[in-house]
């Protein structure tokens, strides 16, 4: 990562001027290790935003219907690449974009499915959704104990397991679902399959962070921008804010602080995964609003704002650009991207699904960092 400054002059009186330092930070081009692009008409918006900012992206498989096997995953990737060809973005970004696919783990997934995925060269991981945990998770696993042969195959073929880490029992408080999953299901899984690579996705609690820290290098975690910048007060105080509603839900400020601490610590177990999830504005802003924050277009300024808020902007490159690639055994990207400490106004919305709109996280707000054109 390189840093430089450029002076800008602003008149403060008729006779004096003050020089303000503008910081530029050039990073290895980052990857997003957890993103939702959706399918169909959604791709014309989401693919352009993702490719403008990231090189590799791990694409979540919870489509309708879900991506359950290698054939479906490769077909989905082909649709993403078709959307990329029509995207109005720089040709260099187009050439750098590399969507990595995942399989949706179900009660009927087999060891042979894992073997085929591993041999495809395009499938990066397998995604575990506990049934009913989040958007389009109805086909998720209902009996982890019955998946032993699949997990053994994943160990054998070194295919990582990506976990939405929440229990779905109706009696468990929504703010405790991640902790309960960590204390029970996740602990047992790691103990039973010690050679299985695991990413605990979009962690939201100090409990999850502590668990990841206590495990071997085979266990890592992604962290979203919203869980670094916000807590449940932002969601609930003064009325429910639908565009802050995501799953796992925002937690207490003390958990937000732990996430900031580990994300900015330089520990390679923690890396960038936006969990950017598009929902049409009218689907978010209703009495039963969808869960998910859309951040793909502004993710890097969001992360830069979070890191700079605790004086750790120098740790951003490792988190955003190095640690995920190292965990997955992939080379670092060759190209770069530059952030500048100049304000940007987040758009109020983007066109979406031809006739609808898509509202990003922090719509209409001003961020202190922006991407240099």
36 is in an annotated binding site: yes
User: What is the domain count for the chain?
Assistant: 1
Q: Which pLDDT score, from 0 to 100, does residue 22 have?
A: 87
Q: What pLDDT, on a 0 to 100 scale, did the predictor assign at position 4?
A: 62
- 370 lies in some domain: no
H helices then E strands: how many in the chain? 15, 16
Is residue 357, in this structure, part of any structural domain at all? no
> Taking 60 as the threshold, does the pLDDT of residue 312 lie above it?
yes
Residue 129 and residue 135: Cα distance in Å, rounded? Answer: 10
Give a yes or no: residue 317 inside a domain.
yes
Does 164 appear as a known binding residue?
A: yes
Q: How far is CA 268 from CA 222, 232, 352, in A?
A: 11, 27, 36
DSSP for 152-194, please give it. Answer: HHHHHHT--EEE------TTS-GGGHHHHHIIIIIHHHHHH-T
Other CB atoms within a 10 A radius of the CB of residue 146 amount to 11
Tens of pLDDT, residue by residue over 9-30, are 334 444 333 446 889 999 999 9
Indicate the average pLDDT of the chain: 93
Give the model's confidence band at 317: pLDDT under 50 very low, under 70 low, under 90 confident, else very high: very high
Backbone angles phi, psi at 15, to 5 degrees: -120, -5
Summarize pLDDT for 253-289 with one digit per residue, the tens. 999 999 999 999 999 999 999 999 999 999 999 988 8
- What is the percent of the chain with per-residue pLDDT over 70, rounded to a whole number? 95
Whole-Å CA distances, 154 to 54, 115, 117, 243? 27, 8, 10, 36
Residue range 319-361, pLDDT digits in tens:
999 999 999 999 999 999 999 999 999 999 999 998 999 999 9
Q: Does 87 show up as a binding residue in the annotation?
A: no
| Residue partners of 184: CB distance under 8 A and separation at least 6 | 167
Domain assignment of residue 358, yes or no = no
User: pLDDT tens across 86-132, in order?
Assistant: 999 999 999 999 999 999 999 999 999 999 999 999 999 999 998 77
Residue 372 lies in a domain: no
Q: Note whether residue 229 is domain-resident.
A: yes
Domain membership flag for residue 99: yes
Distances (CA, A) of 334 to 213, 219, 253, 267, 363: 30, 26, 37, 22, 32
221 is in an annotated binding site: no
Range of the domain at 144: 30-334
pTM above 0.85, yes or no: yes
Residue with the larger pLDDT of the pair 21 and 243: 243
pLDDT of residue 20: 61
Q: What is the CATH number of the domain that holds 151?
A: 3.20.20.140
Residue 275 bears catalytic tag? yes
pLDDT given for residue 133 in this prediction: 74
Mean pLDDT of 46-66: 97
204: pLDDT strictly greater than 50: yes
31, 207, 275, 308: the catalytic one is 275
86 among annotated binding-site residues: no
Residue 296 marked as a ligand binder: no
């Amino acid at each position: 990562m390189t840093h430089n400054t450029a002076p800008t002059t602003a008149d403060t009186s008729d006779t004096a001027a003050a020089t303000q330092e503008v910081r530029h930070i050039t990073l290895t081009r980052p990857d997003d290790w957890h993103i939702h692009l959706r399918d169909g008409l959604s791709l014309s918006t989401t693919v352009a935003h993702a490719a403008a900012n990231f090189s590799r992206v791990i694409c979540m498989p919870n489509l309708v219907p879900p991506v359950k096997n290698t054939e479906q995953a490769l077909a989905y990737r082909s649709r993403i690449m078709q959307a990329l060809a029509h995207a109005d973005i720089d040709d260099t970004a187009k050439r750098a974009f590399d969507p990595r696919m995942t399989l949706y783990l179900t009660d009927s997934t087999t060891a042979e499915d894992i073997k085929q995925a591993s041999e495809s060269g395009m499938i990066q991981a397998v995604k575990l959704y506990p049934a009913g945990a989040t958007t389009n998770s109805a086909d998720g696993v209902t009996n982890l104990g019955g998946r032993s042969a699949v997990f053994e195959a994943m160990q054998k073929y070194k295919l990582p397991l990506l976990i939405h880490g929440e229990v779905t029992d109706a009696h468990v408080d929504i703010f405790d679902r991640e902790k309960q999953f960590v204390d029970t299901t996740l602990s047992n899984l790691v103990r039973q399959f010690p050679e299985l690579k695991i990413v605990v996705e979009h962690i939201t609690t100090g409990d999850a962070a502590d668990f990841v820290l206590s495990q071997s290098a085979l266990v890592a975690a992604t962290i979203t921008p919203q869980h670094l910048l916000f807590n449940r007060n932002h969601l609930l105080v003064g009325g429910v804010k639908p565009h802050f509603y995501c799953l796992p839900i925002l937690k207490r400020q003390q958990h937000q602080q732990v996430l900031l601490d580990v994300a900015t610590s330089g520990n390679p177990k923690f890396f960038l995964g936006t969990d950017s999830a598009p929902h049409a504005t009218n689907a978010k802003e209703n009495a039963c609003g969808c869960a998910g924050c859309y951040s793909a277009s502004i993710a890097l300024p969001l992360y830069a704002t979070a890191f700079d808020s605790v004086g750790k902007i120098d740790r951003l490159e490792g988190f955003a650009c190095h640690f995920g690639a190292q965990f997955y055994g992939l080379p670092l990207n060759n190209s770069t991207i530059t952030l500048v400490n100049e304000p940007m106004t987040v758009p109020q919305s983007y066109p979406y699904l031809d006739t609808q709109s898509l509202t990003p996280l922090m719509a209409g707000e001003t961020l202190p960092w922006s991407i240099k054109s």
